[in-house]
């Protein structure tokens, strides 16, 4: 159970990191620069592939169990279930716009910027709500049997980006994250003296 909570929290950390990479690209619109649309699509594809297919189904199972233990949580939990459906549609919409740009179909950059900015804001708010309202209650209320139900809600699969061996699709993104993390470590050790 503890390991499942730790994994749940770690996945949120991974998603937040990806959203910060996405935000850097979205900021380029504001600065009048051209974003890396391929990178944006890789990020959204991962969040769809892993988030929508594995992370969210397990959460949906955990939410349903939490609501049976604590009926007062039904309203916020219903909103989070709805968030998952909205995020699935928003990610599909953003991926469609990015694919249009990449295939050189005309699409206004303001349309892509708006789709990406909305997705970012919605996803960040969703993660923060789960961390603040759900994980602490799940830690207290869910039983060992509940956690077995949660685990069965979506098949285990190797994480295609943050797992031991990133798949070919995400090699570049994995390399960028490794470079960022080693740069931050160097800065920390330099600051530490």
Nearest distance in Å: CB 165, Fe ion: 24
Q: Are 94 and 113 in contact (CB under 8 A)?
A: no
Closest to Fe ion by CB, 130 or 146:
130
d(CA 13, CA 68): 27
Nearest distance in Å: CB 6, Fe ion: 14
Nearest distance in Å: CB 57, Fe ion: 10
Nearest distance in Å: CB 133, Fe ion: 11
Burial state string for 63-96 with b = 16 or more CB within 10 A and e = fewer than 16: bbbbbeeeeebeebbeebeebbebbbebbeebbe
DSSP 192: T
* Cβ-based neighbour number of residue 57 at 10 Å: 16
Closest to Fe ion by CB, 11 or 113:
11
Cα torsion 189, 173, 168, 163: sign: positive
Closest to Fe ion by CB, 59 or 159:
59
Nearest distance in Å: CB 9, Fe ion: 9
26 class by beta-carbon count within 10 Å (0-12 exposed, 13-18 middle, 19+ buried): buried
Closest to Fe ion by CB, 101 or 120:
120
Closest to Fe ion by CB, 47 or 101:
47
Applying CB under 5 A, which residues contact Fe ion? 59, 130
């Amino acid at each position: 159970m503890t390991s499942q909570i730790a994994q749940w929290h770690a996945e949120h950390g991974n998603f937040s990191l990806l959203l910060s990479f996405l935000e850097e690209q979205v900021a380029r619109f504001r600065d009048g620069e051209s974003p890396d649309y391929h990178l944006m699509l890789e990020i959204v594809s991962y969040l769809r592939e892993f988030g929508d297919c594995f992370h969210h189904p397990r959460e949906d199972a955990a939410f349903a169990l939490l609501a049976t233990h604590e009926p007062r949580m039904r309203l916020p939990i219903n909103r989070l279930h709805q968030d998952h459906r909205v995020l699935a549609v928003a990610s599909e919409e953003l991926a469609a716009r990015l694919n249009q740009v990449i295939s050189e179909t005309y699409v206004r950059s303001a349309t892509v910027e708006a789709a990406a900015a909305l997705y970012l804001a919605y996803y960040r708010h969703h993660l923060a709500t789960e961390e603040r309202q759900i994980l602490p209650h799940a830690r207290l209320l869910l039983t060992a049997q509940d956690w077995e139900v949660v685990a069965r809600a979506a098949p285990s699969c190797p994480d295609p980006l943050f797992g031991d061996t990133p798949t070919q699709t995400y090699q570049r993104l994995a390399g960028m994250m490794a470079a960022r993390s080693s740069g931050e470590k160097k800065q920390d050790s330099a600051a530490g003296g």
